[in-house]
Chains A and B, each alone.
Chain A
Amino acid sequence: DTAVSQTPKYLVTQMGNDKSIKCEQNLGHDTMYWYKQDSKKFLKIMFSYNNKELIINETVPNRFSPKSPDKAHLNLHINSLELGDSAVYFCASSQGNPWGFAEAFFGQGTRLTVV
């Protein structure tokens, strides 16, 4: 069973379009994340949700809007896509642990190409 699953795996779209990426985790975790990995493999946090509430919102254009309908799902909607948005987007989840370490589990990534 896939722990963190993202759809679609590949997405090719034209500049100016609006697209969504979906993420679901079946681990019972309470925290979910979106990371962006650029062409140089650098992974950078975009958003984090805990129990459906936004807790981290890094400097990301407001064309990117995350939505968490419940704690098992975190979707990413992108408006007016630009060439620079081309990257691999990873969803991840972890279980909050105020006393120690919590492993983050990653999905397989969504490879977005804007043409």
Chain B
Amino acid sequence: QKEVEQDPGPLSVPEGAIVSLNCTYSNSAFQYFMWYRQYSRKGPELLMYTYSSGNKEDGRFTAQVDKSSKYISLFIRDSQPSDSATYLCAMSPGAGYALNFGKGTSLLVTP
């Protein structure tokens, strides 16, 4: 079993839909939880990060962490075609540790 599990999709939604992306993990030492966005043929870029459990909102994006269930989510409101990309969840036990990535979920937002 991999430490971080993520459904690879693909996920296709119409423009304006609410998108829900999820990851589960097995390592209870993880404290930092991140979402990266990766466009085709580009490197991953950080979207949001959360420390420990809780919610964090940034514009149309909301990240949720439930450490008791070892489950994290990213919600995208009012999705746009420009949101079409692969979304990777990543986790680490602390600063300076390498990131443990999920496999990424491919999202397509159609006009």
Binding site for B on A (CB under 8 A): 4, 31, 33, 35, 40-45, 48, 50, 55-56, 90, 92, 94, 96-109, 111
Quick check: A41 and B8 within 8 Å, CB to CB?
yes
Cβ of A53 to closest chain B Cβ, rounded Å:
12
**Across-interface contacts of A102 in B (CB, < 8 A):** 95-96
Chain B residues with CB under 8 Å of chain A are 8, 32, 38, 41-46, 49, 51, 86, 88, 90, 95-96, 98-101, 103-104, 106
Nearest-neighbor residue (CB-CB) of B100 within chain A:
A45
Contact A100 B95 (CB under 8 A): yes
Q: Shortest Cβ distance from B109 into chain A, in angstroms?
A: 18
Query: Once the chains are docked, how many angstroms separate the CA of A98 from the CA of B102?
Result: 24
Residues of A within 8 A of B100 (CB): 45
Q: Determine the residue in chain A with the shortest Cβ distance to B86.
A: A41
Most buried by A among B44, B45, B49, B86: B44
